[in-house]
Amino acid sequence: MEYKIIAPKGTDIDTLASRRVLPPFAEPVLAFVDAVSARILKDPRFKQYPELMAMAFWMRRGNIVKLKADFESKRGSRAWLGRGVVFHIAPANVDTIFVYSWFLSMLVGNINIVRVSSQADEQLDILLGVINEIARESTHTEVRDRFAIVRYEHNDEITGYFSSLCHTRVIWGGDETIRKIRAVALGPSATELVFADKFSFALVGARGFLDHDNKDRLIEQFYNDSYWFNQKACSSPRMVVWVGEESTVNDARGVFWSLLETLAEKKRLGFAPALAINKLIAECSVAIGAKDLVTIERHRTSLVNRVILQSAADINRELQCGGGLFYELRIDSLDRLADIVRDKDQTIVTCGINRADLADFVRTTRPAGVSRIVPFGEALTFSAVWDGYDLLREFCREVDITVR
C-alpha cells in the first residue's frame, strides 16, 4: 500500500486511530481552528482565493462559539461523544470542502483521516503548508495527534484500510465516486455520510430585480455564487428561473446578463480554450435533445453562455460543464416552480421574491428536492446543516444513561 501523509509530517496511522476522542468543543480544538482562520485571513497569498477567505471567516472563533452554543442547546443534559475515527474522502472538483467536514468532526472531538485528491493543486498546497506550520506549534499537540491528511491514487486496498479503521466514513464527490467507494466494506457498526451529485439554480423575481436599488451588488453576489468554483460546487447556480410576465422578464434579462458579463470582464476571468468548446458542445447537445424550442443566446465574450428553454422537461441536469453556462426558464408564478424541482436539486439562490412567498411555496407544494433557499451571495456559505444532515450531530454518538 502506498499512500503519503502530507499533514502532519511523521504521523503514524495506527497510533492515531488508537487515541481517545476529545470532549466536544475542547479548547485545544477551538484554538487550532482559530489559528488556521487567523493565518489565512492575514496571509496575502490567500487573497486570490476568495472561497478560502470565506472559509476562514466561517472558522473564526466568534462563529465557532455560536456553533457550540447551538450544539449545547440541542444536546441539553444528554451525553454526546465523538464517534471515534472519521474518514473523509474529499472531492476533486472542490478540494478544500474537506476542511469544513474535518473541522466540524474535529470540533466534537473525533480523530480524523482525510484523503485529498492526488491531482496537483496550488491552492490546496498553500493551505496544507499553513496547516502543517500550525500543527507543528507546541500549543497544538493534542490536535496534531488526532488528524492525518493523506494523498493517494484511487486504490481500493488503501481505501479499505482507512475504512476498516473508521467509525464514520464521509464521501464527497458525486454519484459515481459514491458507487465505487461503497463497494469497499465498512466495519459493521460504522456509519456513512454521502454527498451525491446535486443541481442548484437561481430563482429571480423579475419585477423585484428591476426595482432593486443596488443591482450591481446583486450581480456581484451572483457572480461569486457562480464563478468562485467555476460552477462546480454542488450549490453553485447552473440555471436561472425567472418569475414574472414575459415582457418584464425580458427587461430584467437584458439588465442582468449585461451587468454580469461586464463584471466577469472586469474580474479578468480566464478560461481554458477547452472549456469554451465544452460549453459549445453542451449547448448544442441540449438543443438537439430538446422536445421544445431552445434558444442559444450569444454574447460578445465566452464568459457567459445562455441556453433559454421553454419547457422544464428539457432541463438536463447531467449536461453541465460549468464555466459560465446557464440554462434559463421563465414561469408566470411561483407555484409553477413545483414542475421544475427534482430530488437532485439542492440550493436555490434567490432575489426579488419575499420570504413569506417562498415559505408558502415549500409548505403547499412540499418539493421532493431542495435543502436550502438562500439569498444571492450565500450559495457557497457553508452551514453545519448540509444536504439535510446536521453534521455536528451526525459526527456524535449518544450514550444513553438511564440510571436514577
194-245 pLDDT, tens per residue?
Answer: 998 899 999 999 999 999 999 999 999 999 999 988 888 889 999 999 999 9
Q: What percent of the chain clears pLDDT 70, i.e. is strictly above it?
A: 98
Q: If you count them, how many residues does the chain have?
A: 404
DSSP-derived secondary structure letter, 187: -
Mean pLDDT rounded to a whole number for the chain: 92
The CA-CA-CA angle for residues 79, 80, 81, to 5°, reads 120
pLDDT at res. 107: 98
Which of the residues in the chain have pLDDT under 70? 93-95, 268-271
Residue 374: count of CB within 10 angstroms of its CB: 17
* Predicted structure pTM score: 0.84
pLDDT at res. 39: 96
Decide: 193 and 178 in contact? Cβ < 8 Å: no
DSSP-derived secondary structure letter, 44: G
pLDDT at res. 174: 81
User: What digits encode the pLDDT tens for the residues 330-363?
Assistant: 999 999 999 999 999 999 999 999 999 999 999 9
pLDDT at res. 232: 83
**Per-residue cell: 266:** 472586469
Decide: 334 and 353 in contact? Cβ < 8 Å: yes
DSSP-derived secondary structure letter, 10: T
pLDDT at res. 95: 67
Decide: 27 and 61 in contact? Cβ < 8 Å: no
Q: Biggest alpha carbon distance in the chain?
A: 74
C-alpha 309/C-alpha 286 separation (Å) is: 9
Residue reference for cell 422544464:
312
C-alpha 219/C-alpha 257 separation (Å) is: 9
User: What digits encode the pLDDT tens for the residues 317-331?
Assistant: 888 788 899 999 999
The H or E element that residue 127 is part of is helix 122-136
